[in-house]
Amino acid sequence: MTQGWKNHKILGISRPISQFINEWKLIFAVIRKSPITTIGLAIVMGFVILGIVGPYITPYDPMTIGVTGTLKRLHPPCLEHPFGTDEYGRDLFSRVLYGARISLIAALCVMALAVPIGIVLGLVSGYYGGIIDEIIMRVTDIFLSFPGLVLAIAFSASLGAGLTSAIIALAAVWWPGYVRVIRAQVLVVKEMLFVEAAKAIGVKTSRILFRHILPNSITPLLVLITFDFGSVILATSALSFIGLGAQPPIPEWGRLIADGRKWFPEKWWYSFFPGLAILVTVLGFNLLGDGIRDVMDPRYRRSIEIKG
Amino acid sequence: MGDIKRYIIRRALSFLPTILGVLILTFIISHVIPADPVRVWAGGYKARPEIIEEIRRKYHLDKPLYEQLILYLRDVFSGDWGTSPMSKRPVLVDIAEYFPATVELAIVSSILLTIIGIPLGLIAALKKDSTIDHFIRVVALIGTSAPAFWIAIVLQWIFYYYLGLLPATGRGIPPIIRYTGMYVFDSLLNGSLELFIENLKHILLPSITLAFTGLGIIARVVRNTALDVLSSEFIDFARARGLWGLQLYRHVLKNALIPVITILALEIGYILSGAIVIETVFSWPGIGLYAVNAINSLDYPAIMGITLLIGLVFIFINFVTDIAYAIIDPRVRL
């Protein structure tokens, strides 16, 4: 099966669906062989599941003040409240659990906005070249002239504090990266024989772009999305931490850390556990992204093929 | 040296459109995107009507957009970056006061990053796939994955609250004579070792925090570059000639320099944006603390001033990086 995959690269022939599936099988085979990547995949899957079901399985109501009784304000971690309680007597474990959904939704929304914009502009830029390419590249240059978080802070401040503003701001900052990646792929793929052939038989440009070029650019895109998912979760928490993103009482993780700082250092658990949740989640995405990138690296892939 | 000079001028000119673009982008963010720019510049919905009128005139918000843009560019170039409602002073004056603390933090963090990150990457490459390689990878990944402000809090808890070794907040004691506005360097220039140690203690936790978050990328790049160089033919040749140890690593390091410089330039950007978030935690009086205070008191001119400043600084860093390439690798100059 791997032989067939190699042939398509060498000959530049558009591959049939079966080979596409084979490549996915290969990716999963390699992931299974690497324990670190498996851990990453497990964390990411756990995060997604908790993001979906989290709010239904919280032991206490994460929002209602005094839900655990008045005596349990700022209670240190115990069996009943593994992450302790906050100054309003809310169970922090429930709040952190609920926070998974906030982070998941925020990251999904940012990706849903940034990735399509990046794909379309990248395809157009790489395929047509010339003046359109020049303009699009210049604009991405300008966006990339700022550290992402700084630009996101400025956007977010202009739109007004709040989670929606933060999501729009992050999407506004994140799309140029996708333009770059897709464009670079298009420049390679568009020279291949099957694209020439499609053009020669008069296939419509939009069809060439989305049916022939895009599917062949999907793997680097996947790596970037995986890494960026983690980065967006980090950036969202940073925006909330400095007071721009999620507003109280939304238990966004960065917001919880900021709230907990008021009680630092005696009530350490308040800031500690939300931060640990961010660390573990983002680590999961980074491990998974690393793993997928290794699969794509031909040198690494070869060693797996020989071994397997 | 003639062609180096020509190269520098050419590069500088090619950055001009980017600078103009950055200015237009900050203009769009500050004048076009807000639903009601006057209220945003005036500091939200509590602003009194007469202040709103004044702001409207001061920032030319009653004019058509293209005229606003021209006036905005004129103001920025003439050094009028607006007046901060919070401090009642020109934003540029505020920035001049707060910026040295951030530059100091960025310099010390970059030094830590370099002297820790490069050796870690080299060790990982030389002991490829060993336990120590995996260990370095995991430590570096934790730095990349954890929020900087959380690492800051954890380090404070350990080194200040639990161990009592380092101060948690502040910059220390200002040296008597101000040269650069950076306490650590100024205390050395003042010839006071005592002051130097005291101020170094203060800068240690924030700069370790920033260096730790950037460690993952630099260690990875150094590792991969070193692996590439180690497997290349001229290293085989050097080995065949009988070179070993330091002599051999000199070859490796020299050839790994360009990717490392690229990544260091990128890291300075991360360090600057990291500083914005963590300076609050350490009460470090740099532009980050200034920015967060500005955000919380809806001080819009200050926020936009800092955005513009960091954009320009970042462009300048890229410019310097390009020149560094040209000096290291003559092929770039062509």
Residue range A244-258, pLDDT digits in tens:
988 888 899 999 999
Locate the domains of chain B by residue range. 91-299
Amino acid A68: pLDDT: 65
Q: For residues B53 and B61, is the Cβ–Cβ distance under 8 A?
A: no
Return d(Cα A156, Cα A167) in angstroms, integer: 8
Residues 282-321 of B with CB under 8 A from A: 291-292, 295-296, 300, 303-304, 306-307, 310-311, 314-315, 318
Q: For residues A38 and A287, is the Cβ–Cβ distance under 8 A?
A: no
On the question of pLDDT at A302 being above 60, the answer is no
Return the axis-axis angle of helices A253-260 and A218-241, rounded to nearest 10°: 30
Q: How confident is the model at residue B334 (pLDDT cuts 50, 70, 90)?
A: low
On the question of pLDDT at A176 being above 90, the answer is yes
Amino acid B286: pLDDT: 92
How many angstroms separate the CA of residue A308 from the nearest CA in chain B? 18
On the question of pLDDT at A10 being above 50, the answer is no
Residue range A211-247, pLDDT digits in tens:
888 887 787 888 899 999 999 999 999 999 998 988 8
B17 contacts chain A (CB < 8 A): yes
Nearest-by-Cβ selection for B21 from A138, A154, A287: A138
Amino acid A106: pLDDT: 94
Q: How many CB pairs under 8 A join A and B?
A: 136
Residues 152-171 of B with CB under 8 A from A: 153-154, 156-157, 160-161
On the question of pLDDT at B231 being above 80, the answer is no
What superfamily would CATH give domain A26-307? MetI-like (1.10.3720.10)
Interface residues of chain A, partner chain B, Cβ below 8 Å: 36, 138-139, 141-143, 145-151, 153-155, 157-160, 230, 234, 237-238, 241-244, 254, 257, 261, 264-265, 268, 271-272, 275, 278-279, 282-283, 285-287, 290
Amino acid A139: pLDDT: 92
Helix (H, G, I), strand (E, B) or coil at B83: strand
Q: Do residue A242 and residue B277 have CB atoms under 8 angstroms apart?
A: yes
pTM, full prediction: 0.87
How many angstroms separate the CA of residue A254 from the nearest CA in chain B? 9
How many angstroms separate the CA of residue B35 from the nearest CA in chain A? 8
R_g of chain B computed on alpha carbons: 23
Amino acid A11: pLDDT: 43
Return d(Cα A158, Cα B300) in angstroms, integer: 8
Return d(Cα A59, Cα A83) in angstroms, integer: 12
Q: For residues B155 and B169, is the Cβ–Cβ distance under 8 A?
A: no
Highest mean pLDDT, choosing among A63-72, A269-278, B47-56: A269-278
How many angstroms separate the CA of residue A158 from the nearest CA in chain B? 5
Return d(Cα B286, Cα A216) in angstroms, integer: 47
Residue range B189-206, pLDDT digits in tens:
888 888 888 888 889 999
On the question of pLDDT at B134 being above 80, the answer is yes
Return d(Cα B21, Cα A144) in angstroms, integer: 11
Topology of domain B91-299 in CATH is MetI-like fold (1.10.3720)
Residue range B318-328, pLDDT digits in tens:
888 888 888 87
Q: Do residue A146 and residue B150 have CB atoms under 8 angstroms apart?
A: no
Amino acid B45: pLDDT: 63
On the question of pLDDT at A40 being above 70, the answer is yes
In this prediction the ipTM stands at 0.88
Q: Which residues of B fall within a CB distance of 8 Å from A138? A: 17, 21
Q: DSSP string spanning chain A? A: -HHHHHHHHHHTPPPPHHHHHHHHHHHHHHHHH-HHHHHHHHHHHHHHHHHHHHHHH-SS-SSSTTTT-GGGTTPPP-SSSTT-B-TT--BHHHHHHHHHHHHHHHHHHHHHHHHHHHHHHHHHHHHH-HHHHHHHHHHHHHHHTS-HHHHHHHHHHHH-SSHHHHHHHHHHHHHHHHHHHHHHHHHHHTTSHHHHHHHHTT--HHHIIIIIIGGGGHHHHHHHHHHHHHHHHHHHHHHHHTTSSS-TTS--HHHHHHHHGGGTTTTHHHHHHHHHHHHHHHHHHHHHHHHHHHHHSHHHHHHHHHH-
Structure token pair of residue B309? 């400043």
How much is the average pLDDT of B21-46? Answer: 80
Nearest-by-Cβ selection for A150 from B148, B153, B276: B276
Return d(Cα A114, Cα A121) in angstroms, integer: 11
B91 contacts chain A (CB < 8 A): no
Amino acid A4: pLDDT: 42
Report which of B43, B87, B47, B85 is spatially closest to residue B298, judged by C-alpha positions.
Answer: B43
Amino acid A229: pLDDT: 94
Residue range A125-167, pLDDT digits in tens:
988 888 999 999 999 989 988 888 999 999 998 888 889 999 9
Q: Average pLDDT, whole number, for chain B?
A: 85
Nearest-by-Cβ selection for A234 from B40, B147, B306: B147
Amino acid A9: pLDDT: 46
Residue range A80-119, pLDDT digits in tens:
888 888 877 788 888 999 999 999 999 999 999 999 999 9
Q: How many CB atoms lie within 10 A of CB A74?
A: 17
Percent of chain A with pLDDT over 70: 86
On the question of pLDDT at A2 being above 80, the answer is no
Q: How many CB atoms lie within 10 A of CB A64?
A: 12
Residue with the two structure tokens 């690494």: A300
Nearest-by-Cβ selection for A146 from B144, B300, B311: B311
Residue range B152-181, pLDDT digits in tens:
999 999 999 889 888 888 888 888 778 888
